[in-house]
Amino acid sequence: DADVTQTPRNRITKTGKRIMLECSQTKGHDRMYWYRQDPGLGLRLIYYSFDVKDINKGEISDGYSVSRQAQAKFSLSLESAIPNQTALYFCATSDFNRELAGMYQETQYFGPGTRLLVL
Amino acid sequence: AQSVTQLGSHVSVSEGALVLLRCNYSSSVPPYLFWYVQYPNQGLQLLLKYTSAATLVKGINGFEAEFKKSETSFHLTKPSAHMRDAAEYFCAVSPGGYQKVTFGTGTKLQVIP
């Protein structure tokens, strides 16, 4: 079974609709992230969470919101979808080695992605 | 501020030939550098990362990258391309922490039989 799962894998919605993308992980990581990928633009960070009570905006958070329901679950919502939110969305988790906090010791694991089309 | 430039959005090599994917970065602090691979319809997978321990970094699937501070480069290489290497490759830079990572725009590698 995959360590990081995303549902749905594909979604078509209409402008103005509210939708939720879900992410679950079995890796036991505290840190979780949401990215979007657009052709020719690479990945851009939408939101990130270091634990259940710590949620932060990334570089492109406008039009999005998140919920960290549990350590294992991190959901991304589009309150009122618009066509330029059509993209491939990725959830990721990362570990963090507190014993080696003096050096950056962290590895990121990505889910398979959700392809979203907003008409 | 930090940025990453990947030279060439598409690279084609023959099976068995050398793979060279170029990445140049800019960073105001000593950077952490990453290469990710994305196979069709899959998420990103970490190939390797540079964290200042060694300038030559070996990753999975026979890939390696060399950090060259004087050239601000972190090019990805593999001596002999295999058909299964066909994918999109992303270079990324961070001053520390994935919340600060900046991704390049990606290079699609095509391997010709």
CA-based nearest residue to B73, from B30, B19, B6, B23: B23
Interchain contact B54–A (C-beta under 8 A): no
> Using 50, 70 and 90 to split pLDDT, how confident is the model at A42?
confident
- Is residue A100 predicted with pLDDT exceeding 70? no
- Is residue B101 predicted with pLDDT exceeding 90? no
What SS3 class is residue B35? strand
Higher-scoring residue by pLDDT: A51, B100: A51
Asked if B90 lies within 8 A of A42 by C-beta distance, the reply is yes
Average pLDDT over residues A35-60: 92
Report the C-alpha gap between B111 and B17 in whole angstroms. Answer: 9
Interchain contact A31–B (C-beta under 8 A): yes
Provide the phi-psi class of A13: left if phi over 0, else alpha when psi is between -120 and 50, else beta.
beta
- Is residue B100 predicted with pLDDT exceeding 80? no
- Is residue B79 predicted with pLDDT exceeding 80? yes
